[in-house]
Each structure stands twice: as C-alpha cells, then as structure tokens.
Structure 1
Amino acid sequence: MIADNTPVIIGVGQASERVGEPNYEALSYMDLGGRALAAAIANAGATGDLASAIDTLAAIRAFEMSRPGKEPPFGGPDNIPGALAKRVKASPKRLILSPTGGQTNQQYVGEFATDIAAGDSQCAVIVGSEVISTALALAAKGEKPDWSEEIGGEFEDRGYGLDGMMEMQLFAHGATGAIPLYAIAENARRAKLGKSLNEYRHDIGELFEPFTRVAAANPHSAAPVERSAEELATVTDRNRIVAEPYTRMTVARDQVNQAAAIIIASAGLARALSVPEDKWVHIHSVTAATELMLSARPDLSANPASIASVEAALDRSGKSMDDMQFLDFYSCFAIPVFNQCDHFGLAVDDPRGLTLTGGLPFFGGAGNNYSAHAICEAVERVRRQRSAYALVGANGGWMSKYATGIYSTEPADWSANDRFEKLPMADNGLPCSEAPFDSATVESYTINFSKTGSDAVFIGRNADGERVCGNADLSDEATRAAFEGGEPFGAKLTVTRDERGRNIGKLA
C-alpha cells in the first residue's frame, strides 16, 4: 500500500499554437497557460473536483518579465499565479511567482513533493506559458491588445533570481545574453578537442539531427521540420552565424507559443479524488545545483554542477544512467548536452535519444518553462511503458543552475522525505579582475553578430593569472585573422582601454 503522504504526479498538460495556422487564436500568456492547466486537470482523470483541491500554484516567470524593467508589451495581471488559478476556478491558499531560470520547474517538483511528504500540502501545481511569437506578430501588425487583469490578493514573488548570472564585464564588451556566453563556453570545448570551426559545427549538427526528427513528430513543436546534420552545420544566408560557432538553426528558439502544467498530489488525495492509479507517476529523486559564474569557472567548457546534479539524482533513486529508458537533457545550445555525453559516455545517436520533446532549437525554447514540457513528455512515456524510468535534466542561466528529476510508475518510498536535495556550490572559483591590464592570454572567445555590428569577445588571463575579458581589435589584420579563423586560443594580446572603458586587445 502506497502511503497517503507519498507525492505523485497525477496530471500533465500542454497547450500551443502557431501563428497563422488554422484555429490560431492569438491567446495571451494567461489564456494559453490556463489551457495547459485545464488539460492537466483533465489528464488526471479524477472524478472528484481536482481544481478545488489545489492548495499551491507556482507560475513560472515568463521571459518577458525575467529581468528588472522588462515587462510584457501588452501588460499582464497584477497577480499572475492568481490569474492562472482563476482560469480553472481554483483558489489555492498559496500562490508563487518563480524566479528566472530554466531549472526552476524541475526544482519545484522536488520542493512541492517534499511539502506533500511532510503533510504541508496536498496538491501543488506548476504552470508556465510563453507567447513571444504571438506578441511579436501582433506588434508587427500594429495591434495592441490589453492583457492586463486586476486579480488582487497576495502572492509570493520570489524575485528575478539573477544572483551569480550578472557577468557585467562580459556584458559591457558585447556578450549580452545567452547566445554569446554559451558560445564562449562552446569554443572552450572546441579548443580542448582541437577541432576547427567547421568540424565543430558539424559535431553540433550530428548532435541535433535526431532532435529534429523528434520535433517533427511533436504536435506542440514550434519548428516541426526534419533537418540533416549538414543542413544544420552549413552556413548560408538563411542559416547565418549568430555567434561563433553557432548557426541560427542550432540555438534555442524563443519565438514560441507554448504552455505546460504539472499537477502533484498526495497519494491519499489522489485516492479521494478517484484518480486512476495507472495515471500516477512517482518522483524517485530531484536534485538541484548552482554553478560558479562563467568567468570564474576553472574550466570554461565544463559544467560540473550539472554533472553533480545528475549523478546525485541517479544515486538517490538507486539507479544508473543505463537504467534510464527515457532521457531529456536541456538543449538550449549544444554544450549542456555535450557535457552530459562527455561525462556519461553517451553517443549523440544513443538509441534512447537525448530529447523527449525535440529540444529547444526545434521544439522550442519556451522561456523558463521548457523543462515542464519535458516532464510532461516523460510522464506520458513512463505511463505507457510501465516500470520504465525517465530522467529530465533542466538548465538555467548560462549553465548557471541545474535540476534533475527521475520518474517512473514504480513506487518511490518517501517515508524519510529525503528524495529532494540541494547540492552545495563549489568553492574553487578563479579570481576575476575588473582593473586595467596591459596583456592577456586568450582562453576562449566568440564573435557575436548583431544588427549594429559584430564584437569579438575574449576571456582569458592577465599577467597575474586573474580572469579578464575584452574585445579583440578586428581592425588589426593579424588579430582579425586569428579570431575570424577560429584559432586565437593561447594568443598573447596587448591590451589598451578605449574611451568607453572597454579592454581592446590585439596580437602582441
């Protein structure tokens, strides 16, 4: 007999729409999120009133409200979790607005499961929604719908959660946002492997080719098109370089309209609501880890916190990677997947596949909520293949945070309430300096292309061994050749400061 306070996932739901397709409704964030939550409630198959039993609802913060001063273009509710609850006529006593980070939904599965096992909750919901594609389409037509709502009431705003992610020196030199920061890490891995830009782009293409096949079969995908490794790797006008080594097709696609919801309940409540036991999916472990800032990581290509999270989740579940029948590794870019492959010896064509959705460049990068879609897919897979195990790895920031969950229809014993663990952060960060410096040795770099021009951003060590960053002087022929040729690693630069305070380096 499964104990009444055992947390189980009883319902999952997804909702999506693509601009211009039949039945497209241009739904708001809250309306699409409400559809996903309603789908999750229906998915549970309860005969009792499940919506009324929800006591906790966490809304995953949308991308367009994920940093200070940035708001959705058409407004929004004064109480986002309350607005989502209203869509299904739920009245949770606890409402939460999450911080930024793609690991958050996976981490919340562990947090809320722990609350249920402790008797502090009976039914918790995680729901998120992104409609950036619709917002852009409406703005392009000059339309300005009013998505504001007066909900009222109190909720717990957990803030932006940007601690450890504000790389101000890198931002000041043009590495603003995820693409160039991941590209710096990716090029560090390329240097370690001794591969040229073209060779490495082909590696990325081979990794992602199977992802496109999964995305093509997923009805919720933003880009359901199969593509070959060659097509993904080849630079064309349509598949331009956005930041070396990334082509446009191999980076997370944020222009999506996607929402997903997960319902976790106590086994006792699931029984009381007559949720069929073949719908129950057990949470075998959840772990969460935080990485050092990118500029302080001893190995710019590595993400040991993510490896520690996965290993700890496997250990707590009593399973190995070989025991996992289903895998979804967060794939905003190639390197978070490559890191797992490198450590666990997984081939890019592993017959299990490395994604359940199709991955962020092809299924879609649904903001901070992507992994909720992966969890939804994992739940449905293990429901169909009884006793199988699924692993979902969720990533946030620039490989800054990671959370891992393991799921199965096999029961998990929560009597000790020790299946959710937050791991300590490493303390081996390298010293970083913002002071002026005269010379630097390049460790990694990217050339970041934008509408206003391109910046060659490097990260390396000054004469004292401290981490520093700057821009390569592309007006210098030898420097440009080294960086545009993809082989500036180990180069010695002389560095001056320009009138904007930027460090400008050229080959010594």
Structure 2
Amino acid sequence: MIDSRTPVLVGVGQVSERLDAEGYQARSPVDLAADAARAALADAGVAAAAVDTVAGVPQFEISLPWATPLLGCSDNFPRSVAGRIGAEPRRAVLEVGGGQAPQHLVNEFAATIAAGDADVVLLFGSEAISTIAALATTDSPPDFTESPGGSLEARGSGLDGIVSMHHVAHGLSDTPSQYALIENARRARLKMSRAEYATAIGELFSPFTTVAAANPHAAAPVVRDAASLVTPSAANRPIADPYTRYVVARDKVNQGAAVLLMSAEAARRHGVPESSWVFLAGHADLRERNLLERAEYGHSPAAARAAQHALESVSPAEVTFFDLYSCFAAPVFIVAEALGLATDDPRGLTVTGGLPFFGGPGNNYSMHAIASMVERVRSAPGRYGFVGANGGIMSKHSTGVYTTVPYAFQPSRSERIQAELDAVPAPAEALTADGNAVIESYTVKHLRDGMREGIVLGRLESDGRRFVARANAVLDLLTEGEPIGERVTVRSTDDGNAIVPR
C-alpha cells in the first residue's frame, strides 16, 4: 500500500541543441526550459493545467548579482516557462544558484507534497550560454527580455560564504582555481606526485567520455583516453594546476531539463501508470564550511555525510547507477571515497557523461542527471540509482536515491547532521598576514595571454591563522617538487598579501 501523500517522480524531459546541428533554433533559456517541461509532462501524460507549483533553477546570468544578461532575460523565469506551456500555477519559485539546486528542489518539494502543500510540482532549468555567446556579437542579436508578471518567490543568489571580495582580490576570482586548491591538497595528502595525480584524473574521466559519446544531449560526445585528457596541447591548454581544459566543466552549452513530481493520489487521479513512478528512497542537504574555515582542504565532511545519509536505507553495494557531480575531479574522488567506491567501479560513476563532456549547464546539470537516472531505474525495475549534486566550492551538497521500489517518504536528518558539522571549531582567517608561514595549498593559474599567477593558502606560524596570498614572486616553488608544507614568508601590502622570497 502506497500512502496517498507519497511523492513520486512521474515525468522527465531533456532538450539540447548545438550551434552546428541541423535544425538549430537558437532557443532562449526560457524556450529550452519550456521544451523540457513539455517533454516531462508528455512523459507522464499529464496536462499543464494540472501543475500547481513551478520552481526554476536560475541561469548563471541571473544568479550572479554582477552579471549582465547579454541578450536580456525574463524577470520571472518560472512564470515565463509556465506561460509558454499553458500552466497557471498558484506558486512560482526561483531557487538559489548552485549545482545542488536541482536535487535540493526534488528533496524540498517531495517534502512539500508529503505534507499536503502541493500536488503537482514542475521543476526545470536551462542554459543557452553557447547561443548567447554566438549571437551577442552579431549585427542583429535577438532580445530575450520578458516580463510575464505574476508572483515569484526569488530566493537570492546564495553566494554568502562562497564569494569573498578579499579572496577575489588575491586571484580567487574563478571556480577552477578554487577547486585546484582542493585538488592539490588532496594530492599532497595521498603523497602522489604531480604526474601520478594527473594520470589519476585522466583515468577517472576517460570512462565518462564514453558515456557522453553515447548521449544524444552531450555537448562534447567524443571518446578520449586518459592521457589525452590531461596532456596539454593547443586544444587542451592548462587552466589552473592541475587542470587542463578537457577536465573542467564545459559551460558552452544549450541544454534544458525538467522533472515532474506528484503525490501518489494525484498520479492516480491523472492516470499516470504506476510502472512510471519513481520513488525517493533517501536524500540529504548539507553545507560545507567556507573555504578557509575547513579543517583540511582535501576533504569535505559535508559531501561525505550527505552521500552516506542518503544511502542509509540502501547500501552503496545495492546501487546499480551512480551520478557523482563532476565539475572537477575532486568532488568525484571525495564522494567515491566516502562511499567506498573505486574510481574504476564497473557500474560507472555517471549516467550522463559528466560536466566536462556531457556539459555543465550552469546550475542545472543535476536536473539532467536526475532525468537520466529516472530513465535508468525505470528500465531496471527494482534497482537503485544515486545522484550527488554540489554547488559553490564544494560548499552545498544535495543527494538523492531513486528507485521503482515503493518507499514511504522519510524526512532526512540533515539539520541534526548539519549541527554536528557546524560544531567543529573552525580556524580563524587573517585578512592581513605578515611573518613566517606554512603552505597548506596552492595553484598556478594559466591565463590566455600566457601569463601565470600563483596563489597560496597558508597558515601563520605565530598564531595558526589562515590566509590567502598571491605568490607570483615564487612561481618556481609552486611548479616544482611539493610546495605543500614548505615554510615561506608572507607580507601584507597595499595590494593584499604576497608571498615573498625568503
């Protein structure tokens, strides 16, 4: 017996287009999301008029307060999409930014349905970064501006604790350089050489390219071997040590995805066959410490606990399908380690091809992962699939377990676990740093003009406070041997903290 308030996923949809493809339509973000939403409704056989709640994942250009949409945008993305498909929901939500957003929305609105506060919820998101970049410089670019009117619960950017102007001033202005700090700390902890770690990244991601090559929605459907992924070349330039272009999330995409959730009662009322129902067998939502407050950069207790908590009722050994968030290698390595998975597990670690190869459509990648996972578990009744989603700098973690096996919805213990994580003492940060120090992590950014910039995270020997510093004067130290653990001297200047030669 399935309780009438049990939330079930009943419809999924994905769309995509490439600039060079036949039939390319140059769809706006709203159009891509609307087409994905139509596909999800059609998958369930449900009319748009049944939808009482819509929730959208924001594009990068509307989730970053300093970004200016090059071709304009909707000032109410969820209601623009609803209007396109003929829905008139009583509630519209624009979620905070971050790659965790799609899975967090599934977790949240599953609970909302279970509580009786919604019956039919449509979730969607999209990016048209590739189209916008291509058309913005043309003589007659399109105007994607819309004002559909209607109410909107806009939840803000969600960047508190993730973006710091102090860190930006020291070179941490991009995502690859910040994940590289995590990556290099992990490499040093494992006592791996640079070459060994590069090989490990290539071996991790090469199977992802095979999955992407078979995915009709992939932005880069090309099979690549491990060596070619991590060997610098004209097409695969260094980005930030240890990353080359091929192994970082690919944001030049045009992709949209949608998921339809319903109560079991509503699904029966609308004639959705139970063979199409997919249940949420476990879930979690946790937040990691801010970057300089973490006990160790190469770990993520919140990511590990979020994955483990979602799988409390189903062991990793019972899971057939995985999709681990793969904007960079570190999140995959860290979650796989937490779940006891080998990185070459024959079950695979992605169902889409991953963000570097399938594509990283802004905050919405995991909506594609969820849609693909629903299709996988439907094709294998009784099996389980795990989706891990990550936002910020391994900052926000949302997880879900999917299956056709009926599960009563259970609230997670995320709040209790979060309190445990937050109770761990955090190191203090020195905004101005002077004196002897020890390097805890580092990266060297490779700019398009050939210039390099060194960045160091370190601890002052005098009081143990953390700091960030530019390290352009000691690039040789950062590019040879093992910099982590080296004693250095840091000085505060009018331009910020800098590592100086000893």
- Shared fold by TM > 0.5? yes
CA distance in structure 2 between the partners assigned to 1:164 and 1:198 by the alignment: 33
CA distance in structure 1 between the partners assigned to 2:411 and 2:444 by the alignment: 45
Number of residue pairs matched? 496
Instruction: Give the drift of 1:107.
Output: 1.0
> What letter is aligned with 2:349?
L
CA distance in structure 2 between the partners assigned to 1:63 and 1:77 by the alignment: 13
Q: Which residue of 2 aligns with 1:504?
A: 498
> What letter is aligned with 2:364?
N
Is the 2:71–2:136 contact (alpha carbons within 8 Å) kept by the matching residues of 1? no
Question: What is the SS of the residue equivalent to 2:422?
Answer: coil
Q: Which residue of 2 aligns with 1:407?
A: 402
Is the 2:453–2:472 contact (alpha carbons within 8 Å) kept by the matching residues of 1? no
Is the 2:78–2:92 contact (alpha carbons within 8 Å) kept by the matching residues of 1? yes
After superposition, the Cα gap between the structure-2 partners of 1:87 and 1:295, relative to the gap in structure 1 and judged at 3 Å, is: same
CA distance in structure 2 between the partners assigned to 1:152 and 1:486 by the alignment: 59
Instruction: Give the drift of 1:420.
Output: 7.2
1:427 matched to 2:423? The reply is yes
Q: Deviations over 1:237-278 (max 9, x none)?
A: 221110000011000001110100000001111111111111
Is the 1:491–1:507 contact (alpha carbons within 8 Å) kept by the matching residues of 2? no
1:38 matched to 2:43? The reply is no
Question: What is the SS of the residue equivalent to 2:252?
Answer: coil
CA distance in structure 1 between the partners assigned to 2:247 and 2:22 by the alignment: 28
Instruction: Give the drift of 1:419.
Output: 4.7
CA distance in structure 2 between the partners assigned to 1:473 and 1:80 by the alignment: 43
Question: What is the SS of the residue equivalent to 1:160?
Answer: coil
Q: Give the alignment of 1:60-99 within 5 angstroms.
A: 60-99=57-96
Instruction: Give the drift of 1:286.
Output: 1.6
> What letter is aligned with 2:382?
S
After superposition, the Cα gap between the structure-2 partners of 1:503 and 1:419, relative to the gap in structure 1 and judged at 3 Å, is: closer
CA distance in structure 1 between the partners assigned to 2:256 and 2:446 by the alignment: 30
CA distance in structure 2 between the partners assigned to 1:393 and 1:300 by the alignment: 20
Q: Which residue of 2 aligns with 1:29?
A: 29
Alignment counterpart, residue 188 of structure 2, candidates 166, 188, 191: 191
CA distance in structure 1 between the partners assigned to 2:89 and 2:454 by the alignment: 50
Q: Deviations over 1:312-341 (max 9, x none)?
A: 1111xx111101110000000000000022
CA distance in structure 2 between the partners assigned to 1:403 and 1:294 by the alignment: 18
Instruction: Give the drift of 1:486.
Output: 5.0
- Name the stretch that deviates more: 337-346 or 422-431: 422-431
Q: RMSD of aligned C-alpha atoms?
A: 1.4
Q: Deviations over 1:95-125 (max 9, x none)?
A: 0111111111101111111111111110111
CA distance in structure 1 between the partners assigned to 2:130 and 2:32 by the alignment: 13
Question: What is the SS of the residue equivalent to 2:181?
Answer: helix
1:2 matched to 2:2? The reply is yes
Instruction: Give the drift of 1:210.
Output: 0.3
| TM-score calculated relative to the size of structure 2 | 0.96
Q: Which residue of 1 aligns with 2:434?
A: 437
After superposition, the Cα gap between the structure-2 partners of 1:499 and 1:137, relative to the gap in structure 1 and judged at 3 Å, is: same
> What letter is aligned with 2:208?
F
Alignment counterpart, residue 418 of structure 1, candidates 411, 417, 427: 411
Structure 2 unmatched runs, 5+? none
Instruction: Give the drift of 1:142.
Output: 4.0
Q: Which residue of 1 aligns with 2:120?
A: 123
> What letter is aligned with 2:458?
G
Q: Which residue of 2 aligns with 1:344?
A: 339
Is the 1:132–1:255 contact (alpha carbons within 8 Å) kept by the matching residues of 2? yes
Q: Give the alignment of 1:23-422 within 5 angstroms.
A: 23-46=23-46, 50-315=47-312, 318-414=313-409, 417-419=410-412, 421-422=414-415
Q: Percent same amino acid among aligned pairs?
A: 45
> What letter is aligned with 2:182?
A
CA distance in structure 1 between the partners assigned to 2:116 and 2:183 by the alignment: 44
CA distance in structure 2 between the partners assigned to 1:167 and 1:307 by the alignment: 25
Instruction: Give the drift of 1:197.
Output: 1.8
Q: Which residue of 2 aligns with 1:465?
A: 464
- Name the stretch that deviates more: 341-350 or 217-226: 341-350
Instruction: Give the drift of 1:455.
Output: 1.3
CA distance in structure 1 between the partners assigned to 2:400 and 2:234 by the alignment: 40
Question: What is the SS of the residue equivalent to 2:476?
Answer: helix
Question: What is the SS of the residue equivalent to 2:136?
Answer: helix
Is the 1:13–1:39 contact (alpha carbons within 8 Å) kept by the matching residues of 2? yes
Instruction: Give the drift of 1:167.
Output: 3.4
| TM-score calculated relative to the size of structure 1 | 0.95
Q: Which residue of 1 aligns with 2:15?
A: 15
Q: Deviations over 1:75-113 (max 9, x none)?
A: 112211100101110001000111111111101111111
CA distance in structure 2 between the partners assigned to 1:142 and 1:487 by the alignment: 51
Q: Deviations over 1:187-207 (max 9, x none)?
A: 001111222222211110000
